[in-house]
Structure 1
Amino acid sequence: MTVPELPISAAAQPSPGEGGAQDVRARLDAAPMSRTQIIAIAITFLLSALDGYDVLSVTFAAPALTVAWGIGKAALGIVLAAGLGGMAVGAFALAPLADVVGRKPMILVALALMALGMLLCAFATSLEELALYRVIAGLGIGGCVAIINPIAAEFANARYRALTVSIMAIGYPVGGMVGGLGAALLLARYDWRAVFLAGFVAALLLVPVVILALPESIAYLLTRRREGSLARLNAVLVRCGQPPLAALAEGGAPRRRGYAAVFARDQIGATLWIMSVNLLLVQTIYFFLSWMPQMIADAGFPATRASLASAVANLAGAAGGLLLGWLARRHSLRGLVSGQLVLMGVMTALFGVTPPVFPLMLLISGLCGFFLFGAASGMYAALATTFGDEARAAGTGFVSGTGRVSSAIAPAAAGWLFHAGLGTASVSLIFGAISLLAGALLFWGWKRFRPC
């Protein structure tokens, strides 16, 4: 049962002497989640789904676009790379500002960039224009992904934190799946521009939702002291069913924020550790997601079956992310995420030696997706508690940004290995081993580097 939301006049009387950040966090961690908190988590899910659609929008539009413009795969690759580059820059540049000016304002900036980029893409008249506009959209996507992870963690209580972060994370594959179906319907009646216009409309619709229903993060308000901070904090506390504070404790503001805190002497070890784990994780993820359809086609199956395998992997991945979050309520996240990484590595290697029997390949694809997205959801949960309130968005942005760079390298590296003469089994074994290494590194550093 959730704590009822009270208007200011009916809320509990201000609590004297309870202005410390630790006290407020402890009360929020122990209390049931209010309707306001649940709505905030739901909004992060919708934003994540929009990210999933926007990232894949070029791939949805690609078949019609290549016919309309008469371009080949190499030219299309430039557009894909431009979007990924924009996402990396957005994660590096926009996310740290959320630790300075607030989570909510930067979400709105990210949404504005996504909407603008998608609208411009719909009216692009050349490959160069489209690539430029994908950079603009990518800036918003990269920033948004890095900011919604802290929001999901900060509005959750202790019991459901891993689950809420997982719910946020699975919005990405859900957005990709729903977007793919919607794009197919749009392309049946309109041209490729409709795919980008749909993304523009979706981003535009989410702007008033964020403005009206998403409060500023309590964690941010507790660490960023300025004029009116107490009133803003109390307004959010009451909306979350908590008593307002009579005053903020002195000395609570951190000395460092953003990247200064991410690379502080007492934090840099944890930063490099979680970054390394994520770099290894995304290598296996993007190898599998990028090359699995082609490997199925190389086994002698038509493109329609390769697409079916991709859909199954995404569906199973959503289930894997949810299950991990649910199990994390009672079991160690350290063991769960490390186990997911190990099993993802095993399944990736197994996929490479699976005989060309489609039902069997479909099963292994589903298991790969299940553990893949489960591991990714667990990584988001680990990120949320590796950095403090004053550096959570910047830290997530840094790790996400380096991950974006790594995600661009993985498919190219796999392609080079295939070109060098290695078979599917050998390449899958290499990337499976990378995931095993990520699991071992995560397990080893969990208690050494994480603050809790």
Structure 2
Amino acid sequence: MVQNPREEMNNKAMNGYQWFVIIICILLNVIDGFDVLVMAFTASSVSAEWSLSGSQLGMLLSAGLFGMGAGSLFLAPWADKIGRRPLILLCLLICGVSMIASSIVQNATQLGILRFITGLGIGGILASSNVIASEYASSRWRSLAVSLQSTGYAIGATIGGMIAIALISHFGWRSVFLAGGLTTMTMLFVAFFTLPESLDYLLVKQPKNALERINTLCQRIGLSRLSQLPEVLIPSAQPKIGIAKLFSAGLGLQTIFLWLSFFCVMFGFYFVMSWTPKILSANGMTTEQGVTAGVLISAGGMFGAALIGLISARIRVFYVQAAFLALTAALILLFVNSTGTLTLAFILSVLLGVLSNGCVAGLYAMSPSIYEADVRATGVGSAIGFGRIGGILSPLVAGTFLDTGISSLTLYGYYAGAFILAIITVLSLSKLQAKHTAQLNFQNSAVSS
């Protein structure tokens, strides 16, 4: 019987090469964090140059998110067909070229189209890098590995904001897009020479030279070499393709609850990230103080993702996620009542960043465990894409509520409810996932015997 490298890797200590791959995934997310928020960094300068209305600027800000959703839904599934590595390289090329092109556009329409294209690439990278990080980690450290790679987004957003301020003051807003594009192309070069293909993908899909590539990875990871490829069981029934796979073999309810979890968390998260500076300013803070609170939320996010990963190394990630969601809901209500005391508001801003970003990282840590290797990128990508719908709708819904004259406390209370709903979906998903895993283990043991 051919040994199972995946099972062997699950039960061994992580070595330096595995952590190196995860660091590459973190760097990919750092680039994504900058590329996603570059429009927010340059919004004032772009609006001033072209005399844009609020709705025109809003469309530019939303274009990247629309692209990210489309990329997660339609590009990410190709990682299960052609491999994680080729798709990431392709998406880096898309992002780099479109970012550089954005630095020479002549009007808002051209920029909006390029922001959508950049978002397409980012959507594909986010889903695929998340999957690679999970597939190169052992069972014990998988949640930490995925959470750590998601910290890259907050790092890219925080550092990118500081770089953007310096570049705009000296060279104008176009230089920010050019710098982002050149950095992305540099990352493409780095990934081409350092990012390996997923071991799980090679074992399941068995492309050309699969055995040689698997044994090369086994040597680097410290696993036993294979003398032959393991047998891949092909179902007798006509296999379903694409998104349809996520609703077969007992996965339907898990997929639905995962999508709902992403939707609720992204709905609440993007409200906190996009509206907090403006709402705080409207409640007595200066514009600078409101922006500072927003930056502190992003900075707190760098620690939140790592924190949920560390705790999940000892406690089942679904339970940790539920606790983070509950604490986030409570803190949102405390935060909106803290505007009268500046120091307290800033402290709560950091804590809110830790918890809300931890909730997003927890989703990324949970999702790869739901699916087998042959549909993992499709499953993760579709969940992220569905979550982006919540992210896109969230600022629009908040703006509509604010136009009616609703109080800030009531509005934050509504959005705290989104995190509470997510607790229900996450715990339901945990129960379904545990049951499904037990069934698969029983079937595998029956086949082995």
My pick for the range that moved more, 370-379 or 219-228, is 219-228
Cα displacement string for residues 264-294 of structure 1 (whole angstroms, at most 9, x for unaligned residues): 1411111001111111111110111111101
Pairing of 1:38-49 with structure 2 (within 5 A): 38-49=19-30
Matched, 1:169 2:150: yes
* Selected match of 1:424 from 402, 408, 428: 408
Counterpart for residue 225 of structure 1 = 206
1:200 to 143, 167, 181: 181
The answer to whether the 8 Å contact 1:100/1:258 transfers is: no
- CA positional deviation for 1:327: 1.3
Change (3 A) 1:157 1:449: closer
User: 1 CA distance for matches of 2:234 and 2:345?
Assistant: 54
Q: TM-score normalised to the size of structure 2?
A: 0.93
Give, in whole Å, the separation in 1 of the partners of 2:249 and 2:201.
Answer: 22
CA contact (8 A) 1:87 1:141 kept: yes
Which residue in 2 is equivalent to 1:94?
A: 75
- Select the residue among 344, 363, 369 that pairs with 2:347: 363
**CA–CA distance in structure 1, aligned partners of residues 300 and 40 of structure 2:** 21
Distance 1:405 1:217, change over 3 A: same
Counterparts of 2:158 and 2:287, CA distance in 1? 17
CA distance in 2, matches of 1:314, 1:421: 28
Give the letter aligned to residue 246 of structure 2.
Answer: V
Q: Deviations over 1:12-62 (max 9, x none)?
A: xxxxx325xxx2111111222232211110011011111110011011111
Give the counterpart of 1:333 among 317, 328, 332: 317
Cross-structure match for 2:280: 296
Q: How does 1:44-443 map to 2 (within 5 A)?
A: 44-252=25-233, 255=239, 258-443=242-427
Q: Closer, same or farther in 2 for the Cα pair 1:279/1:295, shift >3 Å?
A: same
Work out the CA distance in 2 between the residues paired with 1:433 and 1:312.
Answer: 23
Q: Counterpart of 1:11?
A: none
- Let me know the Cα RMSD of the aligned residues: 1.5
- What SS is found at the alignment partner of 2:374? coil
Secondary structure, in 3 states, of the residue corresponding to 1:251?
coil
Tell me if the contact between 2:280 and 2:339 (Cα under 8 Å) persists in the aligned partners. no
**Counterparts of 1:68 and 1:227 in 2: how far apart (Å)?**
52
Residue pair 2:91, 2:121 contacting (<8 A) in 1 also: yes
Letter of the 1:44 counterpart:
C
If each structure's helix is expressed as a fraction of its own residues, which one has the higher value? 2
Find the aligned partners of 2:355 and 2:79 in 1 and give their Cα distance. 31
Q: Deviations over 1:153-208 (max 9, x none)?
A: 00111121111111111110110000001111111210111000011111111112
Aligned-partner Cα distance in 1 for 2:215–2:151? 32
Letter matched to residue 156 of structure 1:
A
Aligned equivalents of 1:334 and 1:204: distance in 2? 36
Structure 1 gap segments, 5+ residues each: 1-16
For 1:166 and 1:380, the matched residues in 2 are separated by: 7
Question: What's the TM-score once normalised by structure 1's chain length?
Answer: 0.93
**Bigger Cα displacement from structure 2, 71-80 vs 210-219:** 71-80
One-letter code of the match for 2:310? Answer: W
* CA distance in structure 2 between the partners assigned to 1:160 and 1:132 by the alignment: 40
> For residues 182 and 253 of structure 1, what CA distance do their matches in structure 2 show?
51
CA contact (8 A) 1:352 1:426 kept: no
Shift in Å at residue 381 of structure 1? 0.7
Q: Deviations over 1:305-353 (max 9, x none)?
A: 1121112112222212111111111122122110001111111122233
Match of 2:440 in 1: none
Look up the match of 1:32.
13
Structure 2: segments with no counterpart, 5+ residues = 438-449
- In the TM superposition, residue 258 of structure 1 has moved relative to its aligned partner by 4.1
Say which SS state the counterpart of residue 245 (structure 1) adopts: coil
**Secondary structure in 2 aligned to 1:390?**
helix
Partner Cα separation in structure 2 for residue 121 and residue 232 of structure 1: 38
SS in 2 for 1:172: helix
Contact 1:223/1:253 (<8 A) preserved: no
Q: Aligned partners of 2:179 and 2:155: how far apart in 1?
A: 16
Q: Distance in 1 between matches of 2:144 and 2:245?
A: 27
Identity %: 30
Say whether the 8 Å CA contact 1:258–1:393 is kept in structure 2. no
Q: Indicate if the aligned counterparts of 1:257 and 1:391 stay in contact, CA closer than 8 A.
A: no
